[in-house]
Amino acid sequence: MNGGKNDPDTAEENLSRLAVEGERLTKELVGKTFYDAYFPSDRHGNHWAGGCPFGIVDHFTAGTRASGTLKWFSSKPRGAGVGNSSAHAVIDRDGAIIIVIDPLMNIAWHAPGANGTHVGIEHVNAGLLRKVGEKYFYQVNRKYPNSRTSELQTIGNKIWEPYYTKQIVSNIILKRWLIEARPDMMKREYFVDHQQVDPQRKIDCGPLWPLDGINDLVFSEEPVRDMKWLEKTYLTEEEVEDFKIQVHKKIAQGAVSRPHPGP
């Protein structure tokens, strides 16, 4: 988070440590009995082909808890007619990065058309909600927690759950390590969200995920610790716009402060 860059070996070591920690967190969230029965997940494809992955797709889980997403991505049978889906990592609301499928090893099934080329990162977030009376629902009929309704953001005539700043921090960290581990493969133009990959069917990550600003920060290698948006618990619609302004200023200041190369 202080900027700078790791060499590929160090970045791979960081990702390996994340995977070990992800295993511990998964056991904690789904329970050891469930973990022993259905993990590691077999919902993945083959090893990456040469030159891949070269991009990353950001998603929201359309859920409120990491445990539910982890159970869905596990090897537990889903029943007839229910397709496969998975992701390489789940980022919880507290910023915990939970590796489900090794992003340097195997394909995950998270975005048809991009599975064979992109890492998939899920963020625990209910996404789009609807209000009935005084109650809020996501995924049609799942009740949203009353304790968090004050955080919801109305944009136009739609209601969205905001993303926590810790999730943004973890997204930046994970992306930077992936870029460092595969510096000759990862390309800025292929860092997208699910809606960009599948606009006819998907709406994630929605208007409260400042995708371009995040990716600009990721590739800038600028330090992040001193940025004002980190003081917020989550980003409102207004703060998302301010985030973009802060990122633009940060990168511009960094460009000015770096000495120009000689002739």
Does residue 61 or residue 254 have the better pLDDT?
A: 61
What pLDDT is recorded for position 92? 98
The pLDDT of 16-28, averaged and rounded, is 96
Return d(Cα 92, Cα 84) in angstroms, integer: 22
Q: What pLDDT score was predicted for residue 240? A: 98
What is the CB neighbour count within 10 angstroms for residue 93? 19
Residue 257 has a pLDDT of 62
Banded pLDDT at 82 (limits 50, 70, 90): confident
Give the C-alpha distances (Å, rounded to integers) separating 190 from 62, 97, 150, 233, 262: 23, 21, 35, 29, 32
Does pLDDT of 103 surpass 50? yes
Residue 4's pLDDT is what?
A: 72
109 or 254, greater pLDDT: 109
The answer to whether residue 122 scores a pLDDT higher than 50 is: yes
Model's pTM, two decimal places?
Answer: 0.95
Report pLDDT for 94.
Answer: 97
Give the model's pLDDT for residue 258: 58
* pLDDT at position 84: 87
Which domains are seen in the chain, by residue range?
A: 8-257 (3.40.80.10)
Helices (H), the chain: 8-30, 32-38, 66-73, 165-181, 194-197, 211-220, 237-257
pLDDT at residue number 263: 46
* Percentage of the chain lying above the pLDDT 90 cut: 89
CA angle 171, 176, 180 (to 5 degrees): 150
Tokens for 2?
């202080």
Question: What rounded mean pLDDT belongs to the chain?
Answer: 94
| pLDDT tens profile 201-239 | 999 999 999 999 999 999 998 999 999 999 999 999 999
Q: Is the pLDDT of residue 259 over 60?
A: no
Average pLDDT over residues 51-67: 96
Six-digit token string for 113:
């058309």
pLDDT band at 138 (very low <50, low <70, confident <90, very high): very high
Q: Does the pLDDT value for residue 2 go beyond 90?
A: no
73 Rama sector, left if φ>0, alpha if ψ -120 to 50, beta otherwise? alpha
**145-157: average pLDDT:** 96
